[in-house]
């Protein structure tokens, strides 16, 4: 079973907490180009026994569209043998004709949708929460710094079975 989701990280990371001397407002310098973003596809690959969980990602420094969705699906098809149950949200890029045609042409893919407005059901949302936690309070000066920080957060989650398992348990899926 594969759970899929997308997320984006900008040059302006959320400020978690800060400190300074009393009477002095803390200042965090950041890039002036706040429109640059790193957009990611993420998928949790869960074996039927639930014991093996893997995280697959793909990143882009531009907006995501149907072609990138297909590229990520091809990546998943190469990685997973046999039948694939793919569960994702109702994002508009999943509903594009090019994506629908691709999924229909691959009988190994069995696509299901999460209910609308129910991100708490998607375990990949908790991956993004962990990556956001890792980038919070960090002010990248350029895109390279942002990519490095986000990739470090993804790696931290990917390399920890405890963190991946927490993503599954954090979702409100009744079968978990």
Core vs surface per residue 50-70: b (16+ CB within 10 A) or e: eeebebbbbbbeeebebebbb
Separation of alpha carbons 16 and 138, rounded Å: 9
Span 24-39, average pLDDT: 71
Give the tens place of pLDDT for each residue, 1-14: 999 999 998 877 66
Residue 39 near residue 60, CB atoms below 8 Å: yes
> Is a pLDDT exceeding 90 seen at residue 176?
no
Quickly state the pLDDT bin for 29 (edges 50, 70, 90). low
Whose structure tokens read 């350029």? 142
Which residues are paired to 9 by β-bridges?
Answer: 38
Give the tens place of pLDDT for each residue, 41-53: 999 999 887 779 9
Span 156-163, average pLDDT: 95
**Residue with the larger pLDDT of the pair 90 and 30:** 90
Number of Cβ atoms within 10 Å of the Cβ of 89: 20
Mean pLDDT of the chain: 88
- Tokens representing residue 42 in the block: 């993420």
Core vs surface per residue 37-47: b (16+ CB within 10 A) or e: bbbbbbbbbbe
Give the tens place of pLDDT for each residue, 105-154: 999 999 999 998 888 999 999 999 999 988 887 778 888 999 999 999 99
How much is the pLDDT for 110? Answer: 97
The CATH number corresponding to 2-8+34-170 among 3.30.420.10, 1.10.10.60, 3.60.20.10, 3.40.50.300 equals 3.30.420.10
Give the tens place of pLDDT for each residue, 56-69: 999 999 999 999 99
């Amino acid at each position: 079973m594969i759970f899929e989701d997308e997320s984006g990280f900008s040059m302006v990371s959320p400020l978690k907490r800060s400190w300074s001397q009393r009477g002095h407002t803390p200042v965090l310098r950041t890039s002036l180009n706040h429109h640059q973003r790193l957009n990611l596809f993420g998928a949790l690959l869960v074996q039927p026994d639930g014991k093996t969980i893997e995280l697959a990602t793909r990143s882009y420094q531009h907006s995501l569209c149907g072609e990138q969705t297909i590229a990520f699906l091809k990546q998943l098809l190469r990685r997973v043998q046999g039948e694939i149950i793919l569960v994702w949200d109702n994002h508009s890029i999943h509903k594009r004709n090019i994506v629908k045609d691709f999924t229909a042409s691959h009988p190994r893919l069995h696509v299901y949708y999460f209910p609308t407005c129910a991100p708490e059901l998607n375990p990949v949302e908790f991956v993004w929460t962990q990556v956001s936690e890792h980038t919070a309070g960090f002010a990248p000066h350029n895109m390279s710094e942002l990519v490095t920080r986000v990739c470090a957060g993804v790696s931290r989650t990917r390399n920890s079975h405890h963190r991946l398992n927490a993503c599954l348990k954090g979702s409100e899926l009744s079968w978990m």
